[in-house]
Amino acid sequence: MARGELLLEVSHLVKHFPIKSGILFDREVARVRAVDDVSFTLHEGETLGLVGESGCGKSTLCRTAIQLLEPTSGSVKYRGRELVGLSRRELRPLRREIQMIFQDPYSSLNPRKRVGQIIGDPLQLHGLASGNHLRREVQQLMDRVGLQPEHYNRYPHEFSGGQRQRIGIARALALRPKLIIADEPVSALDVSIQAQIINLLEDLQDEFNLSYIFVAHDLGVVRHVSDRIAVMYLGKIVERSPAVELYEQPIHPYSVALLSAVPIPDPKANAARRPIVLEGDVPSPVDPPPGCRFHTRCPWATEVCSEDEPPLAAYESGQAAACHHPRNVDAGMIAATEVAPDSPESASDLLPEPEQAAAAAR
Amino acid sequence: MAGPLLEIEDLKVDFRTDEGTVHAVDGVSLSLEAGEVLSIVGESGCGKSVTAMTILGLTRGPNARISGSIRYQGQELTTASNDELETVRGNRIAMVFQDPMSSFNPVHRIGDQIVEAILAHHDIEKEAAHRQAVEALRSVGIPDPETRARHYPFEFSGGMRQRAMIAMALALEPAILIADEPTTALDVTIQAQILELLQDLNQERGLSVVLITHDLGVVAEIAERVMVMYAGQIVEQGTLEEIFYDPQHPYTWGLMGSLTRLDQERPERLPQIGGQPPSLLGLPPGCRFRPRCPHAFDRCAELPGLEHRLAKEPGHLDRCWLEPSEKKEKREVEGRIGLEARKVSV
C-alpha cells in the first residue's frame, strides 16, 4: 500500500498510574508502568496493528496517544501538531478526526438510546446536522455499514453482537474521521461474524482513506488487516515490523513465542510443529523485571538480559527489535543494525553481537 | 471396557420463555469412548454449552423440557434423582467453565474450595482432603502449591485460575472432564500451557475430555473426533482428519474459510458467511443453514438427516443434500476450503 502523509507521530510516550495509600495524605507507594517510553508513527491510509497479551498496555497506549488519558510524559503529534498539553477545548475540533471502536458491543452502546440517536449524537454535538438532514445522514451511515435503515428507532438490545458492532462503527464514522482506533473490535464476535466486520472495516478504509490503529490479541486477525505491526510486552514495544516480515521472520523471542503459540487449524501441520510454550505468567507492571522485561520467560535469555535493557535495534528488513539475542537473523544482518532513533531513553546502546547471536540462533 | 463411557441419544432441550419456546438442543446424539478427546464446535447459541450442562443435570428447571437419553456407563442421567446425580457429578464427570474468575467463590481460599468439593463426595478427614487438594494443584503445574492453596482467587492470574479450576475438577479423579471454552478468556501463550496440560492429562491418566470451543485451531491441536453444531443440531461429525481435510457441510466450510490463518497466504478478502445464525425461537423450515448457504437448492426446503453419505468414511456423518462429488468442487474457494461469499441481507 502506498504510504500517505504522516498522520500521527508518538514519541517516548509514558503513562504511569500512581498507586496511592495513606491515612491523611495520599502518598505514592508504587506506580503501574502501563506504557513505558513507546514510540511509533502512522501514515494516512495505513493500518498499524498492536498486539500483545492482556495487561501489556496496548489499550492504555491508544487512549494516552489520543489524549483520553493524560500522558505522564512524551509527545504525540497529529498532523504535525503537538497534542500533549492541549486543553479540552483545543482538543475538541481534533476529536472529530479521531474516533474509537470498542471491544464490547454490549457495554459500549447506551441501552436507553435508540440506534438513530446513538449514531446521530456525534453529528448533533458537533453541530453538523439536525432535523431531517440528520436523519438522512444517519440512515445513509446505517446502510453503509450493513444495517437496515428502517431500524433507526430500535434499541441496542434488539440487535445481535455483530450488528451492534456495526452500530459502533457507524457512530465512529459519523464525523468522517481520519483516524480510527479499533480496540479489539472483533474479539467478542463469533468467527463467521468476525470475517464480516473485518471485511467491512477494510472496505471503509479504502472508501474513506482511513488510518487504523488496530488493537487485538488475535495474531491472525492482526496479520490480515495490518500494514505494520508493533508487538508490546509489559508496557514496551519489543518489536516493530512490516506485517509480512513479522510473520515470516520474527526477530524478538517474544514475537517468536507468541506466533508459535497460535494453534493452527490444520491437524497435520499442528502435529508436525513443536511450539515454544512459554513458562509462567507476565510479570507485574508495578515491578517489571530489570534489563529486558522479557528475560524471566525467555528461553534464550543470558546474564546480559537481566542487567541491560536492550535498545530498539533497526534491521535492514525494516524491522526493529529490542533484544540482545535476536532470532531469525544472520550475522550480516546483525552487523548492519543500528540503534533506532526513537529507542527508549532508559535503554542502553548495546547492540546484539553478530558472532554470539549467530551461534545462539543455530 | 464394554460400550462407550458416555452415550447420548436424541437429546432435546427446550426452554419455555416469555417469547416462546427456545429449542436449544434438538436431537443430539453422541458417544464418548474412554480416553477419547471429543470436541464440540460451533458459535454462540448453537447449543454446545446447553448439551454439556444437560449431561450434568445443570439445565433442569421448571421452564426446561428435556427428552432423550444420557447414559454414563449404562446409568441413565436424564431421569436420575438429584442424589444420584450428585454421585456422578464431580466424581465421575467434572466440568470446567470458560471464565475462571466467576467460577470460584471470591471470598474463600482456593485450597478450601477444593477441600469442600472433595469432602462433599468423600468421607475423609479434612487434613487428608487438604493434602489431596495440594496434590491436585501440584498435578496441574501450579508452583508452590502449599502456599498457593492459601491464596484467594483474585491473587491468581487468569491462567493460574484456570489451572486451579482444572485441579478442582480433577481432585475427585473423574473419568470425564467437560471443558467449556477453557481457553477462550486466556492469552495465547497461556492457552498453549492449558492445552498442553489437558493433553498430558488425557495421555497420562487416560482422562476422557469433551472440549467445547468455537476455535478450530484449538480443536486441531487436541481433538480426536469433532462434532460441528449449528442452531441446536449436529450438522457434521467425524474424525479430526475427516472434518479438516474432507468437510462435507457448507457451514463447516464457512467456519474454516473465515479463519484468519497464519499458516497460509493472506487472502485478499476473508471469505465470510453472510447473515446471522437463526433465532432459536423461530427456526427456518428445512435445512437450518439454508438462509445463509450460497449452495442451497430446492431440496434444502426439507431438513436433511444426520446421515452417513461417504462410502469410505463410515464414521463421517453430515446434514447436507449436496452430492459428495459436487461438494469437492463447491468448497474450493481461491485454493482453500471456504464458503463462496454471497450477498445476504443482514
Whether residues A263 and B217 touch (CB distance < 8 A) is answered with yes
Fill in the amino acid letter for B282: G
Q: How many contacts does A have with B, using Cβ atoms within 8 A?
A: 125
Give the whole-angstrom CA distance, residue B267 versus residue B260. Answer: 9
State residue A358's pLDDT score.
52
B158, B220, B258 member nearest A264 (Cβ): B220
The CA-atom distances, in angstroms, between B265 and each of A2, A196, A215, B10, B260 are 21, 19, 22, 41, 10
Residue pointed to by grid coordinates 442421567: B77
State residue B305's pLDDT score.
94
* DSSP type of residue A247: H
Instruction: Report residue B344's pLDDT band, with 50, 70 and 90 as the boundaries.
Output: very low
| Set of chain B residues whose Cβ sits within 8 Å of the Cβ of A282 | 157, 187
Cα of A74 vs its chain's centroid, Å: 18
State yes or no: pLDDT of A70 exceeds 90.
yes
Whether residues B276 and A261 touch (CB distance < 8 A) is answered with no
- What is the per-residue pLDDT across B85-113, written as a single tens digit (0 to 9) for each? 988 988 899 999 877 677 899 999 999 99
State yes or no: pLDDT of A1 exceeds 60.
no
Helix (H, G, I), strand (E, B) or coil at A23: coil
Q: Which of B138, B193, B131, B133 is nearest to B162 (CA)?
A: B193
| Set of chain A residues whose Cβ sits within 8 Å of the Cβ of B217 | 262-265
Q: Which three cell numbers stand for residue B3?
A: 460400550
- What is the per-residue pLDDT across B157-212, written as a single tens digit (0 to 9) for each? 888 888 899 999 988 889 999 999 888 878 888 888 889 999 999 999 999 999 99
Q: Which of A278, A284, A341, A347 is nearest to A311 (CA)?
A: A347
Whether residues B192 and A277 touch (CB distance < 8 A) is answered with yes
State yes or no: pLDDT of A98 exceeds 70.
yes
B157, B188, B216 member nearest A261 (Cβ): B188
Query: Which comes out higher in pLDDT, residue B229 or A273?
Result: B229
Fill in the amino acid letter for A349: D
Chain A nearest-CA residue for B273: A192
| Set of chain A residues whose Cβ sits within 8 Å of the Cβ of B240 | 267
User: Which of A54, A103, A115, A192 is the best substitution to test chain B (most B C-beta atoms within 10 A)?
Assistant: A192
State yes or no: pLDDT of A360 exceeds 70.
no
Whether residues A262 and B193 touch (CB distance < 8 A) is answered with no
State residue A301's pLDDT score.
92
Whether residues B271 and A190 touch (CB distance < 8 A) is answered with no
Chain B nearest-CA residue for A218: B188
- What is the per-residue pLDDT across A47-59, written as a single tens digit (0 to 9) for each? 999 998 888 899 9
Whether residues B44 and A190 touch (CB distance < 8 A) is answered with yes
Whether residues B215 and A193 touch (CB distance < 8 A) is answered with no
Cα of A344 vs its chain's centroid, Å: 18
Give the whole-angstrom CA distance, residue B208 versus residue B85. Answer: 19
| Set of chain A residues whose Cβ sits within 8 Å of the Cβ of B346 | 146-148, 163, 166
Give the whole-angstrom CA distance, residue A233 versus residue A296. Answer: 12
Mean pLDDT of A340-358: 82
| Set of chain B residues whose Cβ sits within 8 Å of the Cβ of A192 | 43, 254-255, 258, 272-273
State residue B345's pLDDT score.
39
Fill in the amino acid letter for A218: D
- How many Cβ atoms are within 10 Å of A277's Cβ, its own excluded? 17
Question: Is this model's pTM higher than 0.95 or not?
Answer: no
Give the whole-angstrom CA distance, residue A263 versus residue B219. Answer: 9
Return the half-sphere exposure (C-beta side, CA atoms, 13 A cut-off) of residue A340.
28
Instruction: Report residue A355's pLDDT band, with 50, 70 and 90 as the boundaries.
Output: low
Q: Where are the beta strands (DSSP E) in chain B?
A: 6-17, 20-32, 37-41, 64-72, 75-76, 93-96, 176-180, 208-213, 225-230, 233-239, 307-308, 317-318, 332-333, 336-337
Q: Where are the beta strands (DSSP E) in chain A?
A: 6-21, 27-43, 47-51, 73-78, 81-82, 98-101, 179-183, 211-215, 228-233, 236-242, 313-314, 320-321, 338-339
